[in-house]
Chains A and B, each alone.
Chain A
Amino acid sequence: MTIKKIIEIKAAAEFKPQSINTVAPLAGAATLSGLSNPPPLALYIHIPWCVQKCPYCDFNSHESKHKNGELPEATYVEALIKDLELATPKVWGRKIKSVFFGGGTPSLFSPAAIDTILSQVRALTPLEYDAEITLEANPGTVDIANFAGYKQAGVNRLSLGIQSFNAGYLKALGRIHDDKQAIKAAELALATFDRVNLDVMYGLPQQSLADALADAKQAVMLNPDHLSFYHLTLEPNTPFYHTPPSLPDDDTSAEMQVEIENFLAQHGYEHYETSAFAKKGSQARHNLNYWQFGDYLGIGAGAHSKLSYHDKITRETRPKHPKAYMEQALQGNAVERESIVSQDALGFEFMMNALRLIDGVPLTLFQQHTGLSLITLEPAIREAQQKKLLVIENGYIKPTLLGQRYLNELLQFFLD
């Protein structure tokens, strides 16, 4: 990037302090060789409300308390559309390959609201004809009419936060649904949508290996095309972190992981990312885009974006609190912070995503999506190879089995 360009950004920051607060130092962004083509683009839409907050959750979600009707649905939809309108110049002309409604609990919104949003997306952007459009739903807020309505609006994939099929663990996790609702919601989703993901967790408070496997069996029995199995993590700023429940020991939860992976493999689910499993051809395209270091425009409260330009890659965030977001977005000021990803950070960020994929990514993808030469990472790659955490074969860079298990150790090589 030229110095002139940076001065321009700084000048912009002075005029509009709310939209650009930080600019990476000159050294970090200096020698991007430039992107010949921008990477694929995805759209993320955040719906920030939940009926109640789960004690393990650190996502940007806010308790709605009043249930559906009383959410400021209309205002929020209006804010989202305004946000999108203002953002489109940044991605002008670029096709949107996938849309993801995440939360919070997007299924708290009415099909009409989702329909309005998607119509505007189509009107304002070139949404690809066969784009994957996913909506997250909570088994406790499901009704059959809504599912049909979402489908009508254009949603073609549903992701259900099942977490467990066991009433005891659901209670321990503070979920609003029970085992029966979990199964019913999954069956309903599967009856409505061709593509369904079930989110399940293991390593739950006092969970036994047998119970973790029972959840895996139940999930497979329902036969969705995609499954996510997460190891429950105690995230900072959550009630579980402050008063940790009694969790299975490392050996037990590692056993769970191994057994679940084996079981899913036997039943035709390919393990393609740290926590994701899919039937052939059913990988989540929207998520793959993150892991392949593609671009994403995130709109809604607290949403993050990563956008590439010919001379820089930026990240932006929107105000976290729904009220603040709506106010700012409606005033035409949805972006709270924008920063340039420094060259030093790009290598790490790319690997942090790409090495989650079991098959890795083509070596050429690095230059395509960062504008940097892979040589910049040469010492780190060599060291990681020596430690048998990483391999390069057939033009792909990918983690070894060891590298998958100890991904954090592997990624540390890419920190300066």
Chain B
Amino acid sequence: MKNIRNFSIIAHIDHGKSTLADRIIHMCGGLADREMEAQVLDSMDIERERGITIKAQTAALEYKADDGQIYHLNLIDTPGHVDFSYEVSRSLSACEGALLVVDASQGVEAQSVANCYTALDLGVEVTAVLNKIDLPSADPDRVIQEIEDVIGVDASEAVRCSAKTGVGVRDVLEAVIAKVPPPVGDATKPLKALVIDAWFDNYVGVVMLVRVMDGTLKPKDKIRLMATGSEHLCEQVGVFTPKSLQKTSLSAGEVGFVIAGIKELAAAKVGDTVTLAGKPATEPLAGFKEVKPQVFAGLYPVESNQFEALRTALEKLSLNDASLLFEAENSTALGFGFRCGFLGLLHMEIVQERLEREYDMDLITTAPTVVYELLLKNGEVVQIENPSRLPEPSRIEEIREPMIVVNLLMPQDYVGPVMTLCNGKRGIQRNMQYMGRQVMLSYEMPLNEVVLDFFDRLKSVSRGYASMDYEFLEFRAADLVKLDIMVNGERVDALSLIVHRSNSVYRGREVAAKMRELIPRQMFDVAIQASIGANIIARETVKAMRKNVIAKCYGGDITRKRKLLEKQKEGKKRMKQVGSVEIPQEAFLAILRVEDK
């Protein structure tokens, strides 16, 4: 066990985590040259295209160190986005060490800070690595200073490398051997294995990636998942190199996969503890929690007959994504669709993109919203996920919105604009800290303001230099009202929003104005109204198009005229008919285009 090293890599998106992982795998001969595909651990197309890691992956590698000994390295790749912070914490708790990879020219970003603190909290040894030192703009000394200022870890011995060119990567591995402590654990104790990740494989069912803390796991053992209590027969164990390789057992300190004929991903929860049914551990490993979706949106097929196809697609996606929740809902405007719950905005975008790309769905998405907690007059407390389901105001005592703590890290120059942005989003400043060249701002903010467009705005006011991380704080009472949008007198439930009273009138006006731009002219005037309760607060009109007719037609080439009409008709198919009005997909997201006051 003294020659085992379990470590993961913490890095901000684009700081080169996956490239470094590739380089390490290559160096340890995990894959032959011809099998190397850029960023081998990111196996989904979307992961590779967007350069992000969605699911944790792993590689068991053998490395002959400078001291002549062979070490078994388990590299556990972690997702690099705030939406998946729980997965990050589970991955980290399976390790004894973590490499904090920082881009030597860009410096520290908020995501790395948050993950680094998670690692330190879990008692994981953090070793700083400066990547991309081959870039002309690299400034290692400054970045080392920044790591020390911002994160507060000693970076004086930070390893300098370039994952792209390979320079210094051996030093990185030597640092892993030297600094990451070997795992401790007792192979003779009752089995305790942490589920780091789980996914669904079409052939073998659920595959769990586990870190064995104590005990030994072999095929034919009867295992029990401690959170759910379900029992299964272990069929196979093994490791990823990153190719899968069957083994006869997994023992304390090792990281590998378990296949136990589990049919549903929901039974194998990330963070759960695997033990033996016959000889169970007394206590599960600490830190397990159910991940709850924070962001909700309605997903509707453009063509109503695609409802069942959408259900099938969502079911297939959720096979491999336990955090995706969905339930059928019916909108008067959009017909049958699903209210879906996501971990965050990126998760939502990824799901949407996969539905469109892998399942060829044509979707209308409503503006993202959050869960509200309502205290009703009768004392009951309920949660709603869809603004249009808000009960009559007379029945509500109090509406509580989810508050989050947002940590923002940015160069000094952008502090002003970022503060303006946060204040516009009803943020309350909690802290501001100068850390060398960077500033860390901490805000309490309503999550509903953040889910709309905060992230995009943040990137634009800081020219991409600000980064953020957030965590849920509490539900807090606020003066919230429901803003309804009516099109030709008909309330469009899919456009209802819950907003703060202070900016409700402004938002209502702006949404109506944006809708006017987005709805094409039709054969009649289209009235767009915004209302709060019975009060109409804004009215806009899309003037009727005056005519739509082909001026000349004398026999001749009829096919071109036909094509023109077919194109017009096709355009309409991509719109949703609400009453007699054709509303394009993007109009349902009009709120996202509203600038703050």
Contacts and interface: CB of A to CB of B under 8 A. Distances in A.
Interface of A: 44, 102, 230-233, 250-251, 253-254, 257, 274-275, 287, 290-291, 296, 298, 304, 306, 315, 317, 345, 348-349, 352-353, 356, 402, 404-409, 411-412, 415
Which are the 4 A-B pairs with shortest beta-carbon distances?
Answer: A254-B546, A407-B549, A408-B548, A405-B547
B523 interface: yes
A230 B551 contact: yes
Given A275-B551, A291-B553, 8 more contacts: A230-B552, A233-B551, A250-B546, A352-B561, A405-B523, A407-B548, A408-B550, A411-B565
B558 interface: yes
Nearest to B580: A387
B416 interface: no
Contacts of B547: 250, 254, 257, 405-406
B523 A275 contact: no
A231 B552 CA distance: 9
B33 interface: no
B568 A408 contact: yes
Given A402-B523, A409-B523, A415-B569, A353 B545 contact: no
Nearest to B549: A407
A220 to B, nearest CB: 20
Contacts of B561: 352
Nearest to A389: B523
B558 A408 contact: no
Q: Mostly helix, strand, loop or mixed at chain B's interface?
A: loop
B52 to A, nearest CB: 41
A386 to B, nearest CB: 10
Interface residues of B, number: 25
A287 B554 CA distance: 7
A235 to B, nearest CB: 9
B525 to A, nearest CB: 13
Contacts of B550: 233, 274, 407-408
Given A408-B565, A412-B565, A415-B565, A356 B555 contact: no
Contacts of B543: 251
A21 B217 CA distance: 71
A250 B550 CA distance: 14
Interface in B530-589: 543, 545-558, 561-562, 564-566, 568-569, 572
Contacts of A274: 549-551, 553
Contacts of B558: 304, 315, 349, 352
B568 A352 contact: no
A320 B565 CA distance: 24
Q: Mostly helix, strand, loop or mixed at chain A's interface?
A: helix
B554 A275 contact: no
Interface string B357-386: 000000000000000000000000000000
Contacts of A317: 557
Given A408-B568, A411-B565, A415-B569, A352 B553 contact: yes
A19 B545 CA distance: 44
Contacts of A233: 550-552
A356 B548 contact: no
Given A250-B545, A405-B547, A415 B566 contact: yes
Contacts, number: 83
Candidate in B555, B568, B569 with the most chain A CB atoms within 10 angstroms:
B555
Contacts of B557: 304, 317
A230 B543 CA distance: 24
A251 B547 CA distance: 9
A406 B569 CA distance: 13
B546 A356 contact: no
Contacts of B555: 44, 290, 296, 298, 304, 306
15 contacts: A230-B552, A274-B549, A274-B550, A290-B554, A306-B555, A315-B558, A352-B558, A352-B562, A405-B549, A408-B550, A409-B548, A409-B568, A412-B568, A412-B572, A415-B562
Contacts of B568: 408-409, 412
A315 B569 CA distance: 24
Interface string B393-410: 000000000000000000
Contact of B546 (A352, A405, A408): A405
A19 B556 CA distance: 18
A348 to B, nearest CB: 7
A406 to B, nearest CB: 5
B554 to A, nearest CB: 5
A7 to B, nearest CB: 26
A279 B568 CA distance: 35
A220 B230 CA distance: 91
Contacts of A412: 565, 568-569, 572
Contacts of A315: 558
A256 to B, nearest CB: 10
Candidate in A296, A306, A407, A411 with the most chain B CB atoms within 10 angstroms:
A411
Contacts of B556: 304
B562 A348 contact: yes
Contacts of A251: 543, 546
A192 to B, nearest CB: 24
Candidate in B521, B545, B554, B572 with the most chain A CB atoms within 10 angstroms:
B554
A102 B556 CA distance: 11
Contacts of B566: 415
Given A250-B546, A406-B523, A231 B551 contact: yes
B566 to A, nearest CB: 6
B142 to A, nearest CB: 52
Contacts of B553: 274, 290-291, 352-353, 356
A315 B557 CA distance: 10
Nearest to A249: B546
A287 B547 CA distance: 23
A108 B546 CA distance: 39
A286 to B, nearest CB: 9
Contacts of A407: 548-550
Contacts of A345: 562
Nearest to A305: B555
Interface string B54-84: 0000000000000000000000000000000
Contacts of A253: 546
B542 to A, nearest CB: 13
A412 B523 CA distance: 14
Interface string B238-262: 0000000000000000000000000
A338 to B, nearest CB: 14
Contacts of B548: 405-409
A411 B555 CA distance: 16
A315 B545 CA distance: 34
Contacts of B521: 250
Nearest to A252: B546
Contacts of A287: 554
B452 to A, nearest CB: 34
Nearest to B572: A412
Nearest to B562: A348
B131 to A, nearest CB: 49
Nearest to B547: A405
A353 B557 CA distance: 12
Nearest to A232: B551
A235 B556 CA distance: 15
B561 to A, nearest CB: 7
Nearest to A287: B554
A291 B555 CA distance: 8
A85 to B, nearest CB: 22
Nearest to B561: A352
Nearest to A202: B551
